[in-house]
A and B are shown apart, each in its own frame.
Chain A
Amino acid sequence: GQNIDQPTEMTATEGAIVQINCTYQTSGFNGLFWYQQHAGEAPTFLSYNVLDGLEEKGRFSSFLSRSKGYSYLLLKELQMKDSASYLCAVMDSNYQLIWGAGTKLIIKP
């Protein structure tokens, strides 16, 4: 079957760095996505990885290791507005997104 695992909840301090991990087992792989979702709102696209390595975009970076079925999202210089759920999703062989349950990130002052 297809499975995506990520921690349910994480807590970090404003100004710090946090790493959210995601492991996956899917039928085929056409890329891994990270989305941010604030409470009551729709998910918004953060990053896309299809090759191994690190993709950096401002305060956010995403890493992928296809051989390990592993990705992480790194958030630097945390701000209160980063409090949200972070969803890991893998595009399978049918180009359909398989979603993780999301990691709720709580930022404390």
Chain B
Amino acid sequence: EADIYQTPRYLVIGTGKKITLECSQTMGHDKMYWYQQDPGMELHLIHYSYGVNSTEKGDLSSESTVSRIRTEHFPLTLESARPSHTSQYLCASSEMGHYGYTFGSGTRLTVV
């Protein structure tokens, strides 16, 4: 079944740790996105990609990095986690053109 997967679903880590949030989709979508969303707040675009070897920063200043080596995989890495990174991280993908986004279930990150 075509879908978009995020792991882990929940993560609690200590300050200063390096972490990678995984996102994979089986729909063959070219465009992928990472959003950060605090509870009850709006979505903030932090990174996006229009295809393999293409990555761009979004509107929200972020200390994270992304890579797009394969179409289906778009991991997000935090080199040194801080309590301010505590949030929900949502991955999404879409086809080229006027189609909406499909979201993964999200990773809820807590940095202590």
A residues within 8 Å of B by Cβ?
A: 30-31, 33, 35, 39-45, 48, 50, 85, 87, 89, 91, 95-97, 99-102, 104
Contact = CB atoms under 8 A, between A and B. Distances in A.
B70 interface: no
Interface of B: 31, 39-43, 48, 88, 90, 96-98, 100-106, 108
Contact of A99 (B43, B48, B102): B43
Given A44-B103, A45-B100, A91-B98, A39 B39 contact: yes
A99 B103 contact: no
Contacts, number: 45
Given A39-B39, A99-B42, A100-B42, A30 B98 contact: yes
Secondary structure of the B contact surface, majority rule: loop
Contacts of B39: 39-40
A5 to B, nearest CB: 12
Contacts of A100: 42
A48 B106 CA distance: 23
A95 B101 contact: no
A41 B48 contact: no
B103 A97 contact: no
Contact of B97 (A42, A95, A97): A95
